[in-house]
Structure formats: structure tokens, C-alpha cells
Structure 1
Amino acid sequence: MVLIHALLANTTPFSLISAYSTRFELLHAFNLSKITRLFVQPKHLQHALSVAKEIGMPHTNIYIIGGHVKGHQSLSGMIERARRVGLSPSSARPAKQDTLAYLVFSSGTSGLPKAVMITHGNLIYSLQQSVIVGQVAAEVMSITTGSNHVYPDAEVGRQSRTESDTQLVNHPRISSIDLSSVRHVGSGAAYLPPQLSAKMKALTPKDSVVTEGYGMSECTIAALTQVLDGTFKGRGRLIPGSAGVLLPGMEARIVREDGSEADFNEIGELWLKSPNVSPGYWNNETANKETFVDGWLKTGDRFSDTLKVSGSQVSPVEIENVFFVHPEKLISDVTVAGVSGGRTSDEKVPRAWIVLSAAGKKKGADAVVKALDEWQQENLSKYKWTRGGIEVVKEIPKSVTGKTLRRVLVEKYERRFKKAKSKL
């Protein structure tokens, strides 16, 4: 947090890159964002070093955060040296509304992750929205409320008793933790199933609340949020299962595939407009033209093929591209779509349908499936793996215009899935 706040104050743009990225994903992110310096935790250093070497980044341009490693400068060490020599803090540099603050990577239907541009204007407006609706970002919650912020896994259970936690983000051993002091549980990143919300309510005091919202990287943080009973001059009402109300200053439209306005209760694509909406993607004019129209952000929800797995976006096209570049050229065609089989009845997981090439037929279907599975584990983050399976088919169904008919394959699979499930 110290580093991020310092870079923002100094108007130095930076990229936020997942620590769980594979070599393939890191290489794409590094090349796209043109990074010149890298800050990394000790446990991820060797992974980052191997990729940094490929792009020609000098060893001296890689710094350590959250610890110390021999041969590398650390952030804490640099801060300590600056204090020791009496170096005066640099004053904050002025920023304009459109000054780039940072890049954050978001998957989409175009395949490889896109770098979303977030400006200082986006950030400021997003913070103003949070103040109005009585929310603050979880990362700075402890700073703004004057409370302690508990991070390490092993400490959460003990600290929840000694510190009397009042707000909770998440923890894997939730059922064994004393939550008697929790008053508010916030959910984000993906839809909160009713059964999970009910479980959290059962684990916390009767007067506690469980809330969720809706957002995406292109909206800086959020677009909608649930409100508590009695807020907004008594008009506010918490409705479980709802994404909530639009944040202040946010406009929304529900649009049909032909671009016309959808009627009340008609399914369509959600379009958003607000000062907290990103100006676009870094160095990707094609995606910008497809996603941003006259100031409106086409979220892709309902029409997009992008999946949400464990709270993270998964692009079927990205998985398809990884399968296509297997060095043995085992397939001639592939399509990926979401199917049942996730943690909840609502969550979809990726499934791939492949057509064998001549080399693939020679190798054998079972061997190809095994080879592709090993390949994706090497080149994709775990949440992107085809947990729905890999199926060999004779051909991928296409429309007369050549568009892949994923729906046909998905419906066929779902019928088999339901039939198999009914026999259990």
C-alpha cells in the first residue's frame, strides 16, 4: 500500500499484475505494459526473474516488497536509507482528470488479457461514490476507520477473538472462526449465491448484514452496490440476491443485440456511463471500438462469452489460443464455453471441444487430451483450466457465416450432465 500511494502521489503510472500469473501470462503483461521496474514478493522472485530476463530487464531493476533477498534492493531498505540520510519526501505532483494512474489486466472475449487504463479522475470519482453510499475500499478500510487490519491466514482466527473484528472479507477456515463480533460481511468479484449468503448469516450475529455489489475493472471498482435498510432517508432496502442500486453519478442502459433499448424485464446487455468508467484499453484500439461507444461501456454481461470462475474472469478465447499453440500442433479446431460443474449451481466452468489434426489422430485421442491438459496447466492460471473437461469431436458446429455455435455444444453437454446427475 505504501508503494501504491507513493506512485499515485508522484503521478507515476504502474501496472497491477496477478502474482498467480504463469510465464505465458506474465510475458504478455510485461510486453504490453512496457514495464521498466518490477516490485515482487520474495516467494515469486524466481518466477519473475525468468520472465524479466526474456524481455531484457536488468537485474538491478527488480526490487523486493514484503521482505529481503540478498542481491536485490528492497522497498523497506530504500525507505530506511532515505530516512537515515535525511532525504526529504518529494512533494505530490499535480494530476489532471485524464492522467493515467495505473493499468489493471482484465480478460475479455478477444482472448489475451487487456490492460484497462484507470485515471486519477476515475479514482477520485470512485472514492467520492464510496463516501456517499457509506462504503470504502476494503484495502484502505482500516486507515479510514482507525481499526486494525488482519491479513495473515494463520492469524485471522486468533485475531478475530483478541481484536473483536467487526468486518470480514473472507477466510478459507471460516466455519471454525469466532465471528461473534462481526457486524458486516462484504462480498465481491462474483455473484453471491443465496445459500452462501445464508451460511454467512448463520455464522454471524443476528444483527449482522451480508452485502454484495456489481463491478468490473473497467469501472475502477464498482457500478452497483446493495444498500442497508433505512438508508437514503428511509428509502433504502437490502434485497438479498440483488446487485443493488447504481452508485451516485452512474448511468445504465439495458440494450438489445441490435443496439436498441430493451423493454422492462427484457434480457439485454448492460451498458454503463460514469466518470469512474475507464477511458479504454492500453494500446488496443480494436477492443476500444468494440467496448466503448459514445462514452458508454458495453459490459458484455448476458451476451459476452466471458466466464466468472472463483471470482475471476476467464476468456474462452484465451484458452483456445493456448491450445492452438501447443508445439505438437495436435488440433485443427477448438472452442471453449462455460458448462455446469462449478462450486455452485450458478457457476460455470470452462469446457473445451477439440478436433484432432493429422498429428493428433496419429497420437490418439486420449493422449492428446492428456497432453493438452498438461500444456494448459503450464501456461494458464489454475482458475482458467478446463475443469469441465476436454472432449474430442469430429467437427465444431458453425453458422452459415462461420460463427462458432457454442450453444449447440453446451446444450448437448448439459443434457448429458443432468442425466448423469439424476442417476446419482
Structure 2
Amino acid sequence: MDKRAAAAPVVENWPAVSLEETYRTLTAPGAPFEMREEVIRGVPLRTYANALNDLRQVFDLGRGWGDREFIIYEGERQSYGAHFRAAGQLGRVLHDRFGVRKGDRLVIAMRNLPEWSLAFWAGVSIGAVVTPLNAWGLGDELAYGITDSGARVAIVDADRLERLAPFVADLALDGLISVRSDTDHGTGAIPLDHLIGPRDRYADLPDDPMPDPGLHTDDPATILYTSGTTGRPKGALGTHRNVLTNVISIAFNNARATIRRGDPLPAPDPDAPQRVNLLPVPLFHVTGTNSMLIPTVMAGAKLVLMHKWHPERFLELVEAERVNSTTGVPAMVWQVLESPDFARRDLSSLDSYGYGGAAIAPELTLKFAELFPWFKPGQGYGATETSSVSIGNSAEDYLRRPDSVGLAVPVCDVKVVGTDGQELPRGEAGELWIRGPNVVVGYWNKPEATAETFTDGWYHTGDICRIDEEGFVYLLDRAKDMLIRGGENVYCVEIEDVLVAHPQVMDVAVVGLPHRILGEEVGALVQLRPGADVTEEELIAYAARLLAPFKVPVRIDVRREEFPRNASGKTLKPVLRAELVARHQAEPAGRSGAS
């Protein structure tokens, strides 16, 4: 156990119900999380008997919420009825005008805007494979996502349109639709308002049905890009079943805590006040789409969008909108708890705050529990490849084990595997593998990468873990050459490729520097070519011209001596990281020459 977990509080009279009995109670025939076995792509898996078939059914649920308020964004407020009439109109336009059919890819590239949701529901409801792109990406990165996915149509906001403009002529698009943009930047993009009308007239649109694509639950629904070790992202191809399995798994984690406590599950209350969810993370991430947007619509709740993360704005919105539930990465939670506005805001409406996406210090969990004594925190573990949640820890179980990411949801199997591919005994450290109906098909048009990462339905996470005798999973390290800055995956190879291309640089090692709020920052060490001379500042400026801002190193150690290597010639990154961390802690940034 992580020594930091020693401070975990003692939870009296816990548990009232064993894990075995809890799972049996919740998954038995007739229970809310009843399971059945199905063969999916040749692999027998447990599935939820009560899962919906496809996302078109969720769209229809959204239409049925009528005049309930749905999306709140920077003073704009849209009802379910208005929003889903507009989504239906957009779906008909995509089908009739642009020829989008079942299986065609539809790119969405924008920040958190109400139009993101419109595009998503329009696309999935006519059978398109919705392909969100990282809004932080540069123009060539966005163009790569469009080209790699083979998208027929892209819907982009003003900033993304400007970034894409130099590349549009080379993209094989049948349609480019702009959102909230005053100019087309020479691209010929068609404003969304010209296709479906202005936002203030959505409620007047006809509620005509979209074409029915005849969806099967295992049809493709999304391509969500996840950074790859080659420096270019890989598109994880998710199905309707993958996405809708995740919705039920989220609900299971709360139900498990209730039963463990000895309480009955609450009965549905049709007269309960409408819940309010706040989304501070990007919709283009699996958490934003699969774990926030879709469950919100299924529950008929409100969704408050943040265009850009800012802790004081977050606290303002929680108070003003009486937010009940939210999520975030640990860096965001730290910033909220330590904000100067924390003590003066009324946060009493908040009763659920889940977090994940990066390593979570037990201190954060314990501090959170101290500052929010009226409810218990929770965290989830998953990946783009698992459609979000596969493992979860919450309430008293979490307080007992704040250093564990929790237990697998009932439809998922987990195991720890050694370097020989064989399962290791409980308690031993190895790579975590996950199998279940939430695991994606594979990587879009990348059969070799798929074969390396998926085996007989098992997803190789690349995380080094151990599992205790009760089944609680503990993350120990990452096998992948990756660091996480504020919840954003940063793959070292991409940055190394940029720096090593500098004419004065011979070799590069990119490593993570610890940061209390962000978790990690990007650091680098470079070995110069003989006779070369370049400063740290010059290399940082060089990287800033070629990389998205969150990927630019904050420290670069410039040296002339060769990097330490092992017997096979591989760079010993742990040694280099320790050296850079020591220097970073001892000296301010901004040294000017090679050592």
C-alpha cells in the first residue's frame, strides 16, 4: 500500500454487506444491473441486460424531455425540445444535402459549445461515426484527424476553422460547416445558421423524424483519438454497445456503495427536482462525451458547459446554477479546493464529484472528504479504449483505500500480466489488462497497433498495477512512454521528434516533472552535437513554434555528455528524470547554455 494512505480515516462498521453479496444483489435476474452472456466479435462476454441498443434511442429520449432546460452556456439556455429539434434538422441536412450515410465519419472540432452536442446527436442518430478531434490541436493535427478518419463532413468552430484554413484544399471533404464564425477564412465553409436557422429560433423548427439507419448495437458509433507513441494519434473505434455499457457502469459504482453501506437502493422519483451537471472537461474527451453528455440526456438533467477551465468560474457556476454533480482531473480538483473563492461560495448543492484521468494522491481524497463532509468522493479508472469507466472506487471503500482506483465493474474482467503474457498471482505487479463489452473494436485503420494492444478481447492498458486479494486495483506506474499534464496525455516521442530535428541537437529524452497542481509538466534533456551551442530559452522557443502549448517543455537541460544507457543501448530515462527533477527543484528555469 502507498505509505501516504496511512492517514486514511477508520470507517466504522464498514462494510455492512460483503463484496460478493453486493455484486450478487445488484446483478441477479430482475436486478437493475442484471447481466447476461453474449458473444461479441467471437469472445463470450457479460453484458448488461438493461442496456439500450443504440444512441438513436438516447436521441429519442432527449426529444421526450420537451420543455425541460437542457444546455446552459455563458448566459444561453436551451430546452431539450429546442436542442433536439435543431439536432434533428441538422441530421436531415447531413443526410439529404451532404449524403452522410451509416458508417460515414463526421468530424467535430470545437470547444465546449452547445453546437458540439447538436453535431453529436445529429451524427450518431443517422448512423454516422462521430469523430471528435482535440480542440487544442494545431492545424496540421486537425487535418490529420480528418484525413486519417476519412471524414466526409467536418463541423468546426471559428478558431478551429482558422487553424484548418491552410489545409482545407487538400482535404477530401464533401462539406465543411462553421460554427460561430464571422468569416470562412477562404475555405468556403457554410455557417451552421444558414443550414438550420439561428439559435433563438430552434424551438420553431419542425420535429420531423430523421432517416432511420437501422442500427445494431455493435455498429461503430465513435472514433475517439488517443495519442500514440509514434507521435500521431490513433483513433479508437467505439460501438454503440461500448458507449451505452459505460452509462450503466457509472450508475453501478454508486449503487455498490449504497448496498455496501447496508442501505436499499432509492426508488425512482418522477417528482424529484431536475439534477444539474457541470461539465468542466472537454467534450472531445471520452469523459466529456461518454460519462457526462450521454448520461445527462438519459436522465433528463441539465448540463452546464464551461468554455474554458478556470477554477473561480467553476465555483461561480456551482453556486449560481445550483450544480449537483461534476467531474474533473486531479489538477482541477486541487485548484478548486485551493481557490481563494472556495470558502465564500455556496457549494451546498453539490452532492457528487467524481475524478480520474491521472494519478490521484491520497492527500487529495482525504482533503476533499474533509471539505465536503456531506458526501463521499469517488474516482473512476478507464481509458479511451475502454469507453471511459472500467474500475471505480467511491464512498467508504474509497476512504479506506484512497490509494486504490477501486474494483472492476461487473461486466469487466481485469488481470495483471507479466512480460511473458501470462497472468500473475494477486499482489504481484505487472501490466493491467481489461476485458468487457465496453472495450473498443480496435484502432481505426491500424491493424498492427490493434494487434499489439488487444488480445482476444483484452485491452493492454500499459499501466503497471497490482490487484489485492479483494480485487482492488492499485496503479503503480505507466509502462507507456507518456506523461499526463493536467489530465492531458502528452506522449514523449512526439516532443522528442521535434527537438531532435533541431540542427544543433543530437539526442533527446523527454520526461515528466512533478507538479502539485497539474500532476506533471513536460521536461526535456538534450545532448548537443559536437561544437554546437544553443540555449535552453532558444530550444523552448523553437519547440513552442512547432507544438501545442501544453506540450512545450518548461525545462530543457542542455548538455554535451552522452546520455546514460543500459546494456542494450536504451536511454535510462529514470536516471535522467531524477537528474532533471533535482535541478528543477534547486534552480529557477532559464539557464542559458550547455553544461
Superposition TM-score, scaled by structure 2 size = 0.61
Q: CA deviation at 1:124?
A: 2.7
Return the TM-score normalized by structure 1.
Answer: 0.83
CA distance in 2 between counterparts of 1:331 and 1:109 reads 21
- Higher percent of residues as strand: 2
Partner of 1:232: none
Counterpart pick for 1:178 among 346, 368, 372:
346
1:313 is paired with a residue whose SS is strand
Q: 3-state SS of the aligned residue for 2:224?
A: strand
User: 1:384 aligns to what?
Assistant: 551
Residue 168 (structure 2) pairs with residue 14 (structure 1): no
The question of whether the paired residues in 2 share the 8 Å contact of 1:24 and 1:379 is answered with: no
Given the alignment of the two structures, is residue 213 of structure 1 paired with residue 380 of structure 2, yes or no? yes
1:89 & 1:145 partners in 2: Cα distance? Answer: 22
- Partner in structure 2 of residue 139 of structure 1: 293
> How far 1:10 moved relative to its partner?
1.1
| CA 306–70 in structure 1, closer or farther in 2 if over 3 Å, else same | closer
- The 8 Å contact of residues 504 and 529 in structure 2, kept in 1 or not, is answered as yes
Tell me the amino acid that sits aligned with residue 143 of structure 1: V
Name which of structure 1's ranges 131-140 and 283-292 shifts more when overlaid on structure 2. 131-140
> Structure 2 CA distance, aligned partners of 1:85 and 1:270?
49
Q: Provide the residue aligned with 2:168 in structure 1.
A: 52
1:269 — aligned with what? 431
- Residue 506 of structure 2 aligns with an amino acid whose one-letter code is S
CA distance, structure 2, for counterparts of residue 335 and residue 242 of structure 1: 30
Contact 2:229 2:481 in 1 (8 A): yes
CA distance in 1, matches of 2:245, 2:456: 20
- Out of 516, 523, 529, the residue aligned to residue 343 of structure 1 is 516
Change (3 A) 1:389 1:76: same
Q: In the TM superposition, what is the alpha-carbon distance from 1:299 to its structure 2 partner? A: 0.6
Cα deviation for residue 224 of structure 1 reads 0.7
Amino acid at match of 1:337: V
Which of 225, 246, 265 aligns to 1:105? It is: 225
CA distance 1:160–1:347, shift in 2 (3 Å)? closer
Does residue 142 of structure 2 align to residue 26 of structure 1?
Answer: yes
The alignment status of 1:78 with 2:195, answered yes or no, reads yes
**Residue in 2 aligned with 1:163?**
321
- Alpha-carbon distance in 2 for matches of 1:341, 1:220: 28
In the TM superposition, what is the alpha-carbon distance from 1:84 to its structure 2 partner? Answer: 7.9
Aligned-residue offset at 1:342:
1.6
1:194-223 CA deviation, whole Å, 9 max, x = no partner? Answer: 33334444443x212221111111111121
**Rounded Cα–Cα distance in structure 1 between residues aligned with 2:382 and 2:498:** 28
Give the corresponding residue for 2:542: 375
1:88-103 matches, cutoff 5 A: 88-103=208-223
- What 5-or-longer segments of structure 1 have no aligned partner? 230-234
Query: 1:64 corresponds to which letter in structure 2?
Result: S
One-letter amino acid of the counterpart of residue 187, structure 1: Y
Shift of 1:156: 5.0
TM alignment of 1:231-380, pairs within 5 A? 239-302=401-464, 303-326=479-502, 329-338=503-512, 340-343=513-516, 347-357=519-529, 361-362=531-532, 364-366=533-535, 369-380=536-547
What is the percent sequence identity of the aligned residues?
25
2:181 is the counterpart of 1:64: no
Superposed displacement of residue 64, structure 1: 2.2
Aligned pair in 2 of structure 1 residues 375, 23: CA closer, same or farther (>3 Å)?
farther
The alpha-carbon distance between structure 1 residues 388 and 348, as it changes in their structure 2 partners (threshold 3 A), is farther
Larger displacement relative to structure 2 (240-249 or 123-132): 123-132
Equivalent residue for 2:105? none
1:410 aligns with 2:526: no
Return closer, same or farther for 1:402/1:315 CA change in 2, 3 Å cut-off. same
Aligned partner of 2:566: which letter? S
- Residue 290 to residue 388, structure 1, CA distance change in 2 (3 Å): farther
In the alignment, which of 179, 187, 190 is matched to residue 355 of structure 2? Answer: 187
Contact 1:25 1:380 in 2 (8 A): no
1:120 Cα deviation after fit: 2.1
**In the TM superposition, what is the alpha-carbon distance from 1:173 to its structure 2 partner?**
5.9
Aligned-pair distance for 1:47? 1.4
What is the SS of the residue equivalent to 1:341?
A: strand
How far apart, CA to CA, are the structure 2 residues paired with 1:269 and 1:110? 21
Query: 2:153: which partner in 1?
Result: 37
Aligned residue for 2:147, secondary structure, equals helix
Separation in 1 of the partners of 2:439 and 2:423? 21
Structure 1: distance between partners of 2:504 and 2:147: 28
Post-superposition shift, 1:265? 2.2
Are residue 149 (structure 1) and residue 303 (structure 2) matched?
yes
Alpha-carbon distance between aligned partners in 1 of 2:419 and 2:239, rounded to the nearest angstrom: 30
Q: Distance in 2 between matches of 1:117 and 1:337?
A: 29
CA deviation profile, 1:87-129 (whole Å, cap 9, x unmatched): 9432331233442212111123333221111122312322333
Q: Deviations over 1:110-168 (max 9, x none)?
A: 33221111122312322333344458822244433443322246875555334322223
| Secondary structure at 1:149 match in 2 | strand
Change beyond 3 A, Cα 1:188–1:92: farther
* 1:26–1:51 CA contact under 8 A, matched in 2: no
Partners in 2 of 1:414 and 1:158 — Cα distance?
A: 36
Deviations 1:8-44 (A, max 9, x none): 1111113211111123422432332233322112233
Structure 2: distance between partners of 1:125 and 1:375: 44
The answer as to 2:390 corresponding to 1:223 is yes
Distance 1:415 1:173 in 2: 28
Q: CA RMSD in A?
A: 3.2
Query: Structure 1's 296 and 160: CA in aligned 2 closer, same or farther, altered over 3 A?
Result: closer
Separation in structure 2 between the aligned mates of residue 383 and residue 70 of structure 1, nearest angstrom: 27
Give the residue type in structure 2 aligned to 1:193.
Answer: A
Distance 1:41 1:417, change over 3 A: closer
Aligned length: 403
Distance, in Å, in 2 between the alignment partners of 1:34 and 1:290 is 23
Which whole-Å CA distance do the structure 2 matches of 1:312 and 1:266 have between them? 29
CA distance in 2, matches of 1:405, 1:159: 46
Residues 1:380 and 1:240: Cα distance change in structure 2 (over 3 Å): same
**Distance in 2 separating the partners of 1:402 and 1:28:** 33
